[in-house]
Structure formats: C-alpha cells, structure tokens
Structure 1
C-alpha cells in the first residue's frame, strides 16, 4: 500500500473552506487555487475633495502626504502579502510533507482491517513528530463498520474535519488541505487515504504562531507607514518653506509695486525657476518705472505747455476783448454786410476767452495749486446771485429756503452752479428746476444737496459714464453743443476739492429729463479729499 500522490510535493489539489487570512484560496491543482465561498477584503481609501484648500503650504503638505501614504501603503501591502505567503507556504508545506511521509511509513503498514488500538497507537505515533499537528485515522473493522483512532480526541475529532474536505478525500486518492478557523484560532487541515482500502488520515495543525508573527509584521509595517507619513509632512514643510519664501518676497514686492513704489527690486540668487521669475519681475519693474517716468515727464511737459500757452494767450486775448467790446458797441452803425462778421468775431472771442480761463483752471487742478477760499454764505442767496448774474431768472425755477448756511468757497460754488445750470439750459431746455436742501445722513455727515433738473430728452445711457470727462462731447446726441467739453469736468473738480461730488442720472418719472445732484459738506474747513480729484490729480489745499 502507498500514500496517494507520493512524491508529488504538496499534493495536487487544495480545498479551502474558510481562510482566516483573507487569501480566498480554493480548490487548487498544484499551487494554483480555485475560490469556493471566499471573502476577499479590499481596502477602500477616501478621496480628499472639495476641501477648499487655499494655502499653498497646506496643499503641498497634503500632496506630499498623499504620495507618501500611497507609496508606503502599497509597499507595506506588498511586503505583508509576500511575507504572509512565504510564512504560510513554508509552514503548511512542512506539515503536509511530514503528514504524507507518516501516512506512507506508518498508516500504510497497518492491516486492511485494523483494530481500534492499532489506529489509536498509529495516530499517536504520527502526531509525536516535530511538526506539531494532531492526527485522526479512520479505518474499517468490517465492511460498513468504521473505527476511529485520534491522537488527541479532545482537540481534534472527525467532526472537526470540514465536510468539503471529507468529500474530496473520499473521491480522490491525493493529499488535500484546507485552512479553516475554529473560534479565533486559524488551523490547517489536511487529509488523504491509503490506496487499496487502507485507512484514511486527517491532520490538524494550529497556525496561531504564524498569525502572531504576521500580526507583528503588520504592526511593524504600520509603524513604518506612519513614520513615512510624518517624514513626508516634515519634508513638505521644508519644501514649502524653500519654495514659498521667495514667492512671499515676490508677492510683497508686487504689492509695493502696486502701491506706487516703482523702485522695488528683488535680490536674485541661484539659477532655478524662482530665480528666473525674480529676474523677470525686476526687469518688468525696471521697464515699468522707466515708462512711468517717461509718461510723467510727458504729462508734466503737457501741463506746462497748456499753462504757458494759456498765459501767453491772455495778453492778446485781452487786446482782442477790448477791440471786440468796441466793435460790439458800434455794431448798429456798421455796414449791414459787415455786422454779421463782427458779431461772429465777438462771439468767438468770448468763447476763446472762456476756453483759456478753463484751461488755466484745469492746469491749477493738475498742478495741485488750487486752493479753497472759504466763507460762510447763505446758499439760497448764492444760487440766486448766480442765476441773476447770467440773466437766467425767467428760465430757472428755484426751490431754496433762506437760512441754509454753509462754509465753502463762494467763487467755486458759483462756477459749479453756472456749469450745471448752463448745461441744463443748453441741452435740456427750460424750465430748469434748482432745489436746495440738507441731508444729515450723507457720507460726509451734514451735507448740502443741490439738485439741477431739466425737462429735456435726458442723457443717453452710453454717455452717462463720460459726462464729467474732459473734452467729452456727445455730438451725436447733443448737436446743439458749442462748449469746450471742460465745463462739467471743472464743476466736478471744484466739488471734489470741497470734499464732495456730483452725480448725473436720468429721471424715472413721466416728465423725463436729466438730473445732476451736487453734494458738498456744509463745512469744508480742513477737508482734503483723498486722492485729489477724480483722476488722482491735484490736492485740495488748506482752507483759508
């Protein structure tokens, strides 16, 4: 009699009933397994998403950590799997080979009809080896009358053998094995039978020591993974510090450059990408400084030219004005063919004189030399005087209570009112309504509010954003405009120097028309509006 599949290594088939290590091994031929009722575990990792990480340092730490965690977990998993297979394969090969050899040497020497004592003695002899497993031998005393001999009946009996293994051993003459678990302890169970009617043997070996060794390995790999994660975080911090320090310096330099410090430069060292970026920044800052200096020089030259030109024009204009006044007085006695030309000369001379005065006023604002000369005035009287001086009493409706006193520059208020009312009469048509009231909830505290409303067609929406721009004239929508395009700009400049402002809009009621709202603080003493005028040019001087 011989042991089944002697000399075939571990045997030709493996049957798995339950695998305490989660390998999912099943019925195998040679060293390959076919799964039967297995449960294969898969580790599921959460994905960091939607965290809104706004810090570059935090993002670097997270990325480094994820990379390190992925690499460490992958390496640890592979190492654990390979070591697990090696440990279990070595243990089960040793036990199964020893069991096969014992079946060949001892069980095969039993008679075909062994006695209970013979089976018991042989089972004890087979389990006495160094492999450390228990043995159960099943024979037949007579046909259909099985007898059992167990080396340790208290720890291993026939009922402890999985049914699938008993079925496989009963059908084949090869060595079969399966890993199972009883309670919390994993076991290796193998079985075979003697060809020709000999006994059938089963071995039962505990894998508790192997599981303890593998648990120790798992803990070691876990600790290594944690250390790798901590190391990656420290490395990410170091890398972030190295990368972010020049980025922070670059951001600070860009902020200073944006604040107007055009001489800001970065110290450059090294040849990496950040150093190249710093060189590019320095080059851009140098170019920007040069361009701004050139633009400032050209702007200053233009301002000086306008100022000089305005001053130079005043002398001949004074002479022209005197001549035109004489011609205007003598206009009725002139030849009818010459009178229209004289009227045109008088009109254009006055317009040229206004233009020169406006240009000089603009240059004062641009140069920052415009100053307030403050006085306490009754606003109603001031508005009435402005209207009366220009003979607009018949075309303007005034709604202003006497007794509203404000401390401001009367001349500049007159310029503002003249431009706003004149603009309304020219482009909107009469009647023009001027209303005066105060507002204690204004942005500057107690405010003076003057509204100038006309009843014309209103201001086109595409023109509204530009009504206070210099030299802007919406000729397509305002064909009657003969102004220079500086009136509303000068009005805004005078409002800003008081610390106030002017807004323009179209009325929403059924009457139509445009409305300009002037807001000034009732006391402009000591007011210096931030940024000078609306274009950042000029500053309001101290109140005098």
Structure 2
C-alpha cells in the first residue's frame, strides 16, 4: 500500500510527458512514417502477389490447354473410361506444372465417365459448380472471338490450402478437362514477402522515431533555451540574452526576445530610478519636516496648556491647530515608516513577548480598556518585535473602534507554530466592494469623506509589519455582523540580517 502514492505520481508525470511537444513531434513523425511504410509495403505486396499468381496461373493454364489438345487428339469419339483415365494420367505426368487432371466425357452407352489422374487428389467434387456451369455453357457464334467454349479458372481453398482450378471443353467434340494446381509454394513465397515487408516497415518506424527525436531536439533546443531565458527574465535577471545564430524563424524569435528584454531592462531601470527618486524625496521631505514640526509641536503644546486662558473667539482655532499638528506629526512618522518598508531597510528587533500582557499594555496606553474586551491566555510567550506588534494592534483596534464602535473583542489563540489574534467589532461591517482595498495606502471607503482623522496609512503599515514577521492580516465580515481582522504571526519570527548596501533613512 505504501507504493500507491508513488505509482500515482508516476502515472501523473507520464500523462504530463504525453503532452510534451517533443513527444508529439516524435508521434507525428512516427505516424507519418508508419503510414508511408504501410502504404508502400501494401502496394508492393499486392503488386508482387498479383504478378506471382498471374504468372503461375498463366503458365499452368497454357500448359493445360496445350496438353489437353495433344492428348485428346489421340482419343476416339466417346472413349471408354480406361482410355480417359490413361489420358488424364498422361497429362498429369508429362507436365512441369505439377497439376492433377479430371477428364469428363460420355461413353458409347450414354453414361458419363469422370476419369481423374489421381482419385485421392482431385475429383469432380473439388470443382466448383459455378466453374462447371461456365465451362459447359455454349456461347453464341457472334459473341467474343466466335468460339463456342472458353477456358475458365477459379482460385479456391480446399482443406485450408490454396488451389487453382481450371476447365475447358474441347472444341469440335471431345471430353471436358479440369485441372487442379496447388498454390502452396506461391502462398509461402508471398508470406515470406509479407514478413520481409513487415520487418522493413518496423525498421522504417524505428528509424523515423530516431530521426524524429533528432529533429525534435534540433527544433526544441532553441525553444528550451528561450523558455529558460524567459524564466530568468521573470526572476528579475533583466540582463538575460539569447545567443543568436542562423536566419530561420527561431533565430528571428531569439532576436525579438533579445530586443524585448533590452527594452524591458531599460524601462525597468527608468522606473526603478524614478521610484528611488520618489522614495528619496519622501524620505528627505519627512526628515526636513521633522525639525520645523518639532518646533511647531512644542509651540502647540504651550498653546494647548494656555487654551483655557485664551480669548473664547480664538480658542477653537488653537485647538484645531493642536489637533492638525498632531495629525501632521503622525503622517510624517507614517511616511517615514512606509519609506523604510519600500526601501527594504525595515528590520525586526526580536524579543520574548508575553502576548496577553502586550495586548493589555497597548490598550491601556491608549485608554481603551473600557471599550475593548480581551480573551487571551496569560503567560504565553512568543518571540516577536514588540514595537511593531504594538503598531499592528494599535492600528487594528483603533480602526475597529473608529469605524465599528465599541465593544471591540480581541481574541488570542495559538499553537506550536502560529499566533492568531482576531479583532472583531460590532459595527455594520465592511462593504463588499471595499474589502479588497482596506489595506491599500491612502484608500478612503467613502469618496464623500476624503478628509478624516487617519492618514490612510495605518492598515497598510500594519500589513507590512505582519509581513516582515513572516505573517499576514486578513479582513472579513462576521456572519452575525461586524468586521473581523485576523492577524497571523509565527510564534518564533526568524531574525533578518540587514543588507550592507541598504541604509535606514532615520
């Protein structure tokens, strides 16, 4: 029973190989060669068969006709049976064609005498009735060559052996003669010919298969090289090129591939340069904004502390400045984080984390304890980056509170390999057309609300932090209502070595 999966895989791989272009070419070549060989062999066999049988029967019939004329000439009219038998024996003995004879005539008393040359080999019982009828039939004088009787013949099988039976009536009165010649030697010769042609056909089939294999290799080798080059190109090796030789269609295809690869490499280099410039611009802009933003933040904190002492007319404006300044600060920090992810410089700083305590600390630091229900086993420790886990939890729980309302339920489950955290709200859920885009950067579910408290980067940053751990985040709607975000992280995230060519923009 243990070999069954292996046999199934073997059959499956065999079926896949049947669909290969190489095998199809070999099969087509073989079928064409088989058809041509069988056709040629069949034509050759039938031509040789017809020639052999025609030559044999013509020689036997001509000899029989001449021998019948010679021996009947010496017979009297209405000869007795013993003379007919002697004549029949003489015809059979004096011929090189090795046939047997039966002579039939009427005796003087009116009875019919059938005299065979060998009663054990040939009697009238062996003569087909249709042949007897044709031999005895008198033809009109104005028909054919004007002769009343003709020589007729027929091929028959007696006791499994092939024979030639011929018959003729002596013109001008006399006996009717029949001859029986064995065609066994001709059959054996034709069987030998058939075997020879069959062997030749088989050899032609094998030769065509070998030629097809060689032709397929010649044709498919450039195709395989093209496939390998396309695979390397898909893996990002944009400097991949094919060696071009010849002027046939495959060479032209290789030239086209090289031109397309060169164009793609140039285009990707341009796009990469633009992307790098864009990332650098965002990073530099974020750095440049940090210094004045720090000063503005300090001033807004002072204004916020003195808000109660300000003129009531300007107090709303001051509080708006404070709020927008904080929002701008969050946006700059988020842009910095996004830039690190895009540049590939974000790295994990792993530590042993008590997951339940981590979730509780995240909720408590943001004063969400009254709005969040936690279902988590205490004491479970995972090796993760605590700062990035806090960012993920803050974004997921904050998003649930903002769009779904309280209470938000956070459930923590785990096994030996994976940690699963579910964040479920009791809101209206996420529209189906929005679900595919909830993790897109700057995506707004409602076009009528392009401005909101968030930056539109929170969920995308959460996903990037999950990915850098080797995990994932999914969004769905619960059957009983509300949205559910599911975070899956490995219990022991693999540490990542920084790339010496990459630099953090902080």
- Indicate the TM-score class for this superposition, using the shorter chain for normalisation: 0.7 to 0.9
Alignment of 1:90-169 (within 5 A): 90-108=55-73, 110-127=75-92, 128-142=94-108, 144-169=110-135
User: Is 1:499 the counterpart of 2:464 in the alignment?
Assistant: no
8 Å CA contact 1:108, 1:194 repeated in 2: no
Secondary structure in structure 1 of the residue aligned to 2:122: coil
Deviation at 1:295, TM superposition (A): 1.6
User: Is 1:454 the counterpart of 2:413 in the alignment?
Assistant: no
Deviation at 1:456, TM superposition (A): 0.4
Deviation at 1:430, TM superposition (A): 1.1
Q: Deviations over 1:86-107 (max 9, x none)?
A: 1111221222223223333432
Secondary structure in structure 2 of the residue aligned to 1:292: helix
> In structure 1, what is the equivalent of residue 37 of structure 2?
72
Deviation at 1:306, TM superposition (A): 0.5
Distance 2:382 2:229 in 1: 46
In proportion to residue count, which structure has more helix? 2
TM-score (norm 1): 0.81
> In structure 2, what is the equivalent of residue 463 of structure 1?
434
Unaligned runs of 5+ in 2: 1-14, 139-148
8 Å CA contact 1:499, 1:528 repeated in 2: no
8 Å CA contact 1:499, 1:527 repeated in 2: no
Deviation at 1:300, TM superposition (A): 0.8
Secondary structure in structure 1 of the residue aligned to 2:238: coil
Deviation at 1:263, TM superposition (A): 1.4
After TM superposition, the structure 1 stretch with the greater mean CA deviation from structure 2, 310-319 or 156-165, is 156-165
**1:434 equivalent among 395, 410, 415:** 410
Secondary structure in structure 2 of the residue aligned to 1:264: coil
Secondary structure in structure 1 of the residue aligned to 2:52: helix
**1:319 equivalent among 278, 295, 319:** 295
Alignment of 1:499-538 (within 5 A): 499-508=470-479, 510=480, 512-524=481-493, 526-528=494-496
8 Å CA contact 1:365, 1:539 repeated in 2: no
Deviation at 1:396, TM superposition (A): 2.1
Secondary structure in structure 1 of the residue aligned to 2:107: strand
User: Is 1:240 the counterpart of 2:222 in the alignment?
Assistant: no
C-alpha distance 161-486 of structure 1, shift in aligned 2 (>3 A): same
> In structure 1, what is the equivalent of residue 46 of structure 2?
81
8 Å CA contact 2:348, 2:495 repeated in 1: no
Alignment of 1:251-290 (within 5 A): 251-290=227-266
C-alpha distance 123-191 of structure 1, shift in aligned 2 (>3 A): same
8 Å CA contact 2:17, 2:23 repeated in 1: no
> In structure 2, what is the equivalent of residue 53 of structure 1?
18
Runs ≥4 residues deviating over 4 A: 476-481, 538-541
Secondary structure in structure 2 of the residue aligned to 1:142: coil
Q: How many residues align?
A: 478
Distance 1:155 1:448 in 2: 100
C-alpha distance 160-414 of structure 1, shift in aligned 2 (>3 A): closer
C-alpha distance 119-375 of structure 1, shift in aligned 2 (>3 A): closer
Distance 2:403 2:150 in 1: 113
8 Å CA contact 2:466, 2:489 repeated in 1: yes
Deviation at 1:255, TM superposition (A): 2.1
After TM superposition, the structure 1 stretch with the greater mean CA deviation from structure 2, 488-497 or 144-153, is 144-153
> In structure 2, what is the equivalent of residue 188 of structure 1?
164
After TM superposition, the structure 1 stretch with the greater mean CA deviation from structure 2, 427-436 or 110-119, is 110-119
> In structure 1, what is the equivalent of residue 268 of structure 2?
292
> In structure 2, what is the equivalent of residue 198 of structure 1?
174
Distance 2:305 2:24 in 1: 84
Unaligned runs of 5+ in 1: 1-49, 533-537
C-alpha distance 448-150 of structure 1, shift in aligned 2 (>3 A): closer
TM-score (norm 2): 0.86
Distance 1:486 1:453 in 2: 20
Secondary structure in structure 2 of the residue aligned to 1:106: helix
**2:445 equivalent among 462, 469, 474:** 474
Distance 2:231 2:153 in 1: 75
Deviation at 1:73, TM superposition (A): 0.8
Distance 1:109 1:131 in 2: 22
Distance 2:88 2:378 in 1: 127
Q: Deviations over 1:266-323 (max 9, x none)?
A: 2111112222222222222222222222221111111101001111111222232233
Secondary structure in structure 2 of the residue aligned to 1:203: strand
Distance 1:238 1:52 in 2: 18
Deviation at 1:164, TM superposition (A): 2.3
Secondary structure in structure 1 of the residue aligned to 2:157: strand
Deviation at 1:401, TM superposition (A): 4.8
Distance 2:36 2:208 in 1: 11
**1:221 equivalent among 197, 211, 215:** 197
Distance 2:503 2:70 in 1: 116
Secondary structure in structure 1 of the residue aligned to 2:301: helix
